[in-house]
Every structure is written in structure tokens, then in C-alpha cells.
Amino acid sequence: MSLIVTGSIGIDSVETPTRTAEQVLGGSAIYFAAGASFFTPVRLVAAVGDDFPESFLNTIKHFSVDLAGLEHRPGSKTFRWRGRYHENMNRRDTIEVELNVLGEAQPPVPSAYRDSKFVFLANTHPAAQLELLDQFPDRELAVADTMDLWIETERDALTTLLAQIDGLVLNNDEAEQLAGDANLIRAAETIASMGPKFVVVKKGEHGAFIVYQGEKAVLPAYPAREVVDPTGAGDAFAGGMMGQLATSPKLSLDRLRWAMAYGTIVASFNIESFSLDRMLQITRTDINRRFEAFRSMLQIAD
Amino acid sequence: MSLIVTGSIGIDSVETPTRTAEQVLGGSAIYFAAGASFFTPVRLVAAVGDDFPESFLNTIKHFSVDLAGLEHRPGSKTFRWRGRYHENMNRRDTIEVELNVLGEAQPPVPSAYRDSKFVFLANTHPAAQLELLDQFPDRELAVADTMDLWIETERDALTTLLAQIDGLVLNNDEAEQLAGDANLIRAAETIASMGPKFVVVKKGEHGAFIVYQGEKAVLPAYPAREVVDPTGAGDAFAGGMMGQLATSPKLSLDRLRWAMAYGTIVASFNIESFSLDRMLQITRTDINRRFEAFRSMLQIAD
């Protein structure tokens, strides 16, 4: 089934306590698309400038991603971001950001993409997310991500968006901020009452949980001995989850948890390297193997 | 099978963002004993002063706890602690502490307790934990807790202790500090290499994980809509876990995870009130019901 993602492509520089990666491929839509592509073909709507390296394009082509919606905008520059992680890798600071093409007009959605059934609106201005949403009249499942900036400055547009989407994926700080409640379970329930059928709260190394029609499910992260770079883990998680949901769209708590578990596994690979380096090495077989290990790790039997 | 706990009994005052409890029953041994008593009778070795209220004694008697090892020390005062939780309840500050009887000699272990098979050494000076350990020559499983203070100031005694116990239970900050490693999985593996067969890392609202003979298991916390008071949750968790292990002592990763899941459920009840108030209301049936909900919450099936 057709899955589409709209979001950012970036040229990232990432500093961790032990290593640094300069000018590597990144961006929410890229991590999402790569993660989802293990499950289903992905359509990508995003824009880059004429500084976007040919080699990055080849990297994207490794994955099952349709690039008809990738706009090369002449005279513009690609979004750039530099981040620095703290010692324990749970926190990071943005050191530099150049919006570039992200500060300009949205890239057009190819008309061939209008029939997309599964829509993921990666983080951007909620008004832009709403505009994008309108271009997929046949959608069966629309899920969005957001960030602290929009919660603070664009609450009205975000509230309008929440009433029109099926699911919201956000991190724990954002959930707390959006609901004004330090209890994450109650916060997620409050957000669900604003419209979406389900709310997934991502907690990084502590896993994720979901509220769906008054029910809850919770998953730990896959235990990782080595975290090289957490950048994009949340997007890769959402990609794995949506990719799996797109193969079998009927919503239920079981189905959503099952999809979240695949998202968890995709994210666990993604953090093992900078950029998409680890995702480039693995296949669906690797994902399935770790998925089964994770599943049995959670089986409580005496 | 005979389970014994040695540790503190306190008169606690607890301030949370919304409510305060003045001078209520607390202490690591009390939370542990109450939690474990749902699974097996518990022997308690601890000391209180002559300020210890009769009503607190009656509260303890509600649970299946043998009080032959509870010393009333004339002329001494009971350990007192006042803590204040931050807005999100994950962090707290100690506002006042009076060691009182905890700063004096250890309470004697009744000779009838020498045959104890399951030993839990709640947090105290590691040299005192070692002394206590020697008094249980027939022990089959000895597990200890510790804290940041001893990791910093008594590393030698703690290292000696680690070589003599079967399991260590500690929280994430302590694991990071003890191993000198911000990656919790690696930290737990490092600690396991110092002696204990298993290391359980408690992460509060984010659950717990275990390393045992090179294998790992991870559990989220039971999702809680309302946290009244997190005090004692880690001890109640350890109590539920050890109580369940004592009913069926052969160690395996499955068995340990199963016991940890019971500990998770006991802790989830404990945080629903101050002191032991919620534990006083529930029965093993309530624990089993929530345990089954938790178990199915973690079952990944499509």
C-alpha cells in the first residue's frame, strides 16, 4: 500500500562525546523513508538545494524510495544542521542551523502521489502539514510528528491539525509540553482527546508507549550496548512503525504495538552508526531476527 | 522458603508537588518487606527507637512479616527522613535526615534466622552488609542494594561485597556511577563482571532491566496515570521480585524476568499512595490481575 512521507532532508554535522561526523546525509524524511522502506515502498516529498551531493542521492537510491517528489531547487541551498550530544547521549544542543530551502515554499506534491493511502507528515510548521494533508484525499491513515517550537508558537494550527489526523508521534518532552502535564500517560490521553485516534510517545533509550481508544501499551527500547549517534532514531522508529502499518492497515492495539516493535528495531539499528550507514548494511532478515529476539525478551513466563 | 531483609525503618515526611505526608512509616526494609510478603513470609531485621509509634507496628503486622528481628532500642530515636519531589516526580531532594538508630550499632540477627535461604541486604554501609551476610551461612540467594554515597566513599568494601553476592539491584544513576559508563547496558555488564550473577538496573518510571550471564531482559514500568508518591518504589520492586524468586529459586533469565515483572506490579501499587497505604488495601489477587494485564500488554503479536 502506498506510503508517503513529507519532511526535511538535511546535511548534518553531528558531534558526539567520542566522534564527529561532518556533513552527512540526514533529515527527518530521510530517516523515516529509509526505515519504512524495509517494509513497503516509500514516496518522498522534500526539497534540496544545488549543494546536495550526488553521493547522497545514490545513498537514498539504495532504499526502496520513489524520488519523483524530490525537488532539486536551483539557486537554493539544502537545510543544514549541526548538533552536539551531551555525555549520556540523551540530550543534545543545536549548535548551528541553516534553514535554507526549508524556509522557502513547500515542494510540490506530484499529482501521481495524490492517491497515497498512508501519510506521514514529519515535523514542520503545522500549517504546512495541514496544507500537505489536503493533497491526499484518499488517505486511510495520516500520522504527524511535531516539535517544541510549534507547540509553543503555533498551538492553534497544531490543534487544527490534531483534529484531522489519525495519529501523532512525539517525544516525552513534547507530550508534557503540549498537554501541560508531567505525567506522560495522562499527557498522552489528553492529546488523544484533542483528536487523533492514537498518540505515540517516544522516550528515546526508555522506549515508547501508545494510547489508543482508552487502552495503553508500552515497549522498552531494544537494549543497546553501543550508541554511536542517536540522530534520526525517532524518525527511523516512526518509519518502521508506519512501514509495517502500511502492510496491514486495520488499527487495533495489538497491531499498533506490533508495528511499534518493528519501529523499535529499526531505530536500534539506526543508532549504531552516523547517518544511514548502518541501515545501508542491513536487510529485512536482520530486522526480523532482532525483532524475534526482542519479542522473546518481553515474554513473561515462569 | 525463608526470605530475610535487613535494612532501615524510617519515619518519613514526603513533600510532592501537590500533597505532603508528615511523619509516616517508611524505610527500605519496610517497603521491601511489605512488597515481598504478598509472595512469601518475610523475616525483618531492623531497629527503631522509643519514638516509634505503636500504630506503625500495627501497620507492619498487617503484612506477613516476622518481627522477632525488630529491635526496639531504648534511649534511641528512629531514623527520620524528609524528602521533596520535583515537579515531574523523577527527582527528589533530601531536605532533612536524622540517622539516629541507623548511626548506631547494627541490630542483632536472631539465631533462629541463621537458616535463612534468601537474603536481601537493603541499602546500608557495605561493610555492615558484609557483616550481615556472614550471619546467613545457609543462604542460597543473596541480593543487595546500594547507593551513591557508598559507591563514592566505600568502593573497596563494596567491591568485596559484590564478589560475595548473587545479585545487585541499583538505580540507573548508581549503575552509571559504579561502572563509570553512561551506557547503562555496558555499565550493568561491567558490574556483573565484578561478581554478582545478575545485576538489575531500576529506572523508575522507565522500568528496569537485568543482565544475567551475558543475557539481557528489559521491562517497562506499568503505565501509571497517577503517581502520588514514588518513595519506596524501588524497595517494593525488589521485595516483589525477591518474594517471587523465593517461591521458586532456580535462576534463569526467564525466572528472573518473571520475578521482575511481579516486582514491577508491586511497585505500581506502592506509588498510588503515601507510605504503605495502598499496599494495605490490596491482596495477591489484585497483584495477579494487574500482572496479567502487564503480561499481555507486552505480548507482541500481529
Chain A residues whose CB is inside 8 A of the B295 CB are 300
**pLDDT reported for residue B99:** 92
Residue A74: pLDDT band with limits 50, 70, 90:
very high
Buried b (16+ CB within 10 A) or exposed e, B252-262: ebebbbbbbbb
Distance of residue A6 Cα from the nearest chain B Cα, in angstroms: 27
| Bridge partners of residue A142, in order along the sequence | A119
- Digit-coded pLDDT (tens) for A280-299: 999 999 999 999 999 999 99
* The residue to which cell 506509588 is assigned: B271
Percent residues over pLDDT 90 in chain A: 92
Residues of B in contact with A240 (CB under 8 A): none
- The CA distances from residue B266 to A156, B222, B289, in Å, are 42, 10, 12
Beta strand A65-66 pairing with A42-49: parallel
Residues of chain B scoring pLDDT < 70: 1
DSSP class of B102: G
Question: Which ranges constitute the DSSP H helices of A79-147?
Answer: 126-133
| H-state helical runs in chain A | 28-36, 54-62, 126-133, 148-153, 155-162, 172-179, 184-192, 233-246, 253-270, 277-281, 284-297
Q: How far apart are CA B65 and CA B60, in angstroms?
A: 7
Dihedral (CA of A268, A269, A275, A279) sign: negative
Identify the band that residue A260 occupies on the pLDDT scale cut at 50, 70 and 90.
very high
Q: Is A252 on the interface with B (CB under 8 A)?
A: no
Quote the pLDDT of residue B30. Answer: 97
**Chain A CB within 8 Å of residue B89 CB:** yes
B300 Cβ under 8 Å from any chain A Cβ: yes
The pLDDT value recorded for residue A89 is 84
Q: What is the mean pLDDT of the segment spanning A240-252?
A: 92
Contact assessment for residue B279 and residue B24, using Cβ atoms and an 8 Å cutoff: no
Please give the biggest Cα pair distance in chain B. Answer: 64
- Say whether B22 sits in a helix, a strand or coil: strand
Residue A93 pairs in a beta bridge with A84
Q: Does A36 reach chain B within 8 Å, measured CB to CB?
A: no
Any chain B CB within 8 A of the CB of A183? yes
> Residue B140 has what pLDDT?
95
CB A129 within 8 A of CB A144: yes
Does B294 lie at the interface with A, CB-CB under 8 angstroms?
yes
CB A235 within 8 A of CB A31: yes
pLDDT at A1: 63
B219 inside 8 A of chain A by CB: yes
Would you state the pLDDT for residue B225? 86
Q: Which three cell numbers stand for residue B295?
A: 503480561
Query: CA nearest B292 in A: which residue?
Result: A300
Chain-centroid distance of CA A179 in Å reads: 21
pLDDT at A88: 78
Q: What is the pLDDT of residue B1?
A: 63
Count residue pairs from A and B with Cβ separation < 8 A.
Answer: 95
Average pLDDT of the residues in A247-260: 92
Mean pLDDT over all residues of chain A? 95
ipTM for this prediction: 0.84
Distance between CA atoms of residues B295 and B276, nearest Å: 25
Backbone angles phi, psi at A170, to 5 degrees: -150, 165
State the Cα–Cα distance between residues B165 and B244, nearest whole angstrom. Answer: 18
Q: What residue type is assigned to position A65 of the chain?
A: V
Name which of A183, A220, A248 is nearest B220 (Cβ-Cβ). Answer: A220
Of B223, B248, B258, the CB nearest to A185: B223
Given this model, what pLDDT does residue A301 score? 84
**A218 has a chain B CB within 8 A of its CB:** yes
CA distance B84 to B183: 28
Question: Nearest residue of B to residue A205 by CA position?
Answer: B206
Q: Does residue B133 belong to the interface with chain A, where contact is any CB pair within 8 Å?
A: no
- Shortest distance between the Cα of B262 and any Cα of chain A, in A, equals 10
- Structural Rg of chain B based on CA atoms: 18
Query: C-alpha grid cell for residue A88?
Result: 549520556
Tell me the chain A residues in contact with residue B296 when contact means C-beta distances shorter than 8 Å.
Answer: none
Residue A17 pLDDT exceeds 90: yes
CB within 8 Å: A226 and B183? yes
> Are A207 and B209 inside 8 Å of each other by CB?
no
Answer whether A220 sits within 8 Å of B225, measured CB to CB.
no
**Cβ pair A182:B89 closer than 8 A:** yes
The alpha carbon of residue A189 and the mean position of all alpha carbons in its chain are separated, in whole angstroms, by 21
Q: Which residues of B268-283 are buried (b: 16+ CB within 10 A; e: fewer)?
A: bbbbbbbbbbbbeebe
pLDDT digits (tens, 9 = 90+) for B42-52: 999 999 999 99
B87 interface with A at CB cutoff 8 Å: yes
At A100 the three-state DSSP class reads helix
Chain A contacts of B300, Cβ < 8 Å? Answer: 219, 257-258, 261, 294-295, 298
Contact B207 A185 (CB under 8 A): no
Q: Which of A87, A205, A254 is opposite residue B302, by nearest beta carbon?
A: A254
Nearest residue in A to B208, CA atom: A220
**Cα separation, B48 vs B31, whole angstroms:** 15
